[in-house]
Amino acid sequence: MIELGKRIHKLRLERGMTLVDLAGNQMTKGMLSMIENGRANPSMESLKFIARQLNCDPHYLLENHTSDELKYLFNQVEEAFHKNNDEQITNLTRGLFDQQLPTSFESARILEIGGRTVVKNDQEQGEMLIERAVAIYEQLSLFSHCVTAKVHVVENRAKKGNYGDALRLLRSIQKKYHEKAAVIDTVVEVEANYVEVVLLFGVGDYKSGKIRLNHLIELSKRKRVFYKMDDIFRIAAFQSLIHNNENDYAYYIKKSEQFAVFSENDRSLAFTLLLQAHYHNQTSKDYEQVLFYLNEFATLLKGEIGSDYYYLEKGKALLGIGQVEDALVELDQFEMPTTISYPLELSILYTADAYKAICLLQLGRVEEASICAARAASNIGPLPRTPYQEFINNTLDMVNKSL
């Protein structure tokens, strides 16, 4: 970190500031002197404070003679990443990762984005790139960035169903970086805690999962950070349904509606409508209410309803009122999303094949029903026990008895 110290020293002199001026009331003169002489590394919070005092961007202090060419590439890669353009990221970084990159934020971020792209098809290679990014982030004391990058590795393992392995890795990450860093960015902390809740439910530890979920909600409220609130309320509502806690379910639905209104987000509000449709399909069996909420959902999103929950819930409702052929038409339009890794959501979505099996069985298409029921049971088999798993297994037994 010698270059960092030199850069701080140079800027301080250019601005006519003494060590006491720069230290203000948050640092000591001795610590600043050690940082300038390369004998100590500032935390990210200290670095941000120093940057504010010097009226510059923290990334400027961290730059290690990053070339204009690399900065230009960084901007292109970042833009492609925000557009989810994996092909462009691959083309932009082809051959780059075989080179020795400078110790700079730009290098680390390019390595991280490259790793996020590669890991989708090559887990080992993708994780190696992310580890290279983390090594640079650590040298720059960017510990929140370290956590963000490594949590993505955890999420990728979870998507492959390795919930136990992913949970152990996440906890080792949390322990390591909470020891290293005085402060982790709140958004990053929320992300890590959210993933932990997902994984606890993924291994069937609902008691610990609920405790962590309540902690996560309190953390978000206390820090007034509303990141991932849609996902948080969805987990809270689903786990309430699983444990037949209608009071908690009603509370989380209300909170979800309030958040949607507060954020003026139609998709957030639409999510609450889907939740209520699901509740009436599963609990009250008021299928007319289900169809009402689904109609409201489609109207709010102006027909952009996706291809998963809407068709699943509508098919279930039509089956419930005896419109079997119409129900099958809706369920045939259902497509399993590729981005879902949350076990409870997967469990719900896997029931689509079971409901199709019931429709097919009632229409006398027993062989097709058997295929659908067996597929549903196979998909949900590795997931923790839930009412959805019991429903699928019961459906398979019913179909097998009809063969």
Block means of pLDDT (10 residues each) for the chain, 403 residues, are 78 88 89 87 81 78 66 92 93 87 89 94 93 90 89 88 89 85 77 90 86 89 82 83 84 83 82 90 94 94 88 97 97 87 85 97 95 96 88 96 85
**Confidence at residue 238, expressed as pLDDT on a 0 to 100 scale:** 81
- Say how many C-beta atoms besides its own lie within 10 A of residue 351's C-beta: 22
Structure tokens at 233: 């309320």
**Confidence at residue 183, expressed as pLDDT on a 0 to 100 scale:** 65
- Say how many C-beta atoms besides its own lie within 10 A of residue 292's C-beta: 16
Of 249, 172, 234, 241, whose CA–CA distance to 197 is shortest?
234
**Confidence at residue 335, expressed as pLDDT on a 0 to 100 scale:** 93
What CA–CA distance (Å, rounded) separates 7 from 12? 9
What CA–CA distance (Å, rounded) separates 113 from 328? 42
User: CB of 348 within 8 A of CB of 388?
Assistant: yes
User: CB of 372 within 8 A of CB of 353?
Assistant: yes
**Confidence at residue 370, expressed as pLDDT on a 0 to 100 scale:** 96
Q: How far is CA 168 from CA 47, 135, 201, 399, in A?
A: 31, 21, 14, 39
Q: How far is CA 120 from CA 113, 117, 401, in A?
A: 12, 6, 41
User: Which residues, in sequence order, are CB contacts of 15 under 8 Å at separation 6+?
Assistant: 54, 55
**Confidence at residue 224, expressed as pLDDT on a 0 to 100 scale:** 83
Of 19, 49, 24, 23, whose CA–CA distance to 183 is shortest?
49
pTM above 0.85, yes or no: no
What CA–CA distance (Å, rounded) separates 18 from 195? 45
What CA–CA distance (Å, rounded) separates 270 from 241? 19
**Confidence at residue 322, expressed as pLDDT on a 0 to 100 scale:** 96
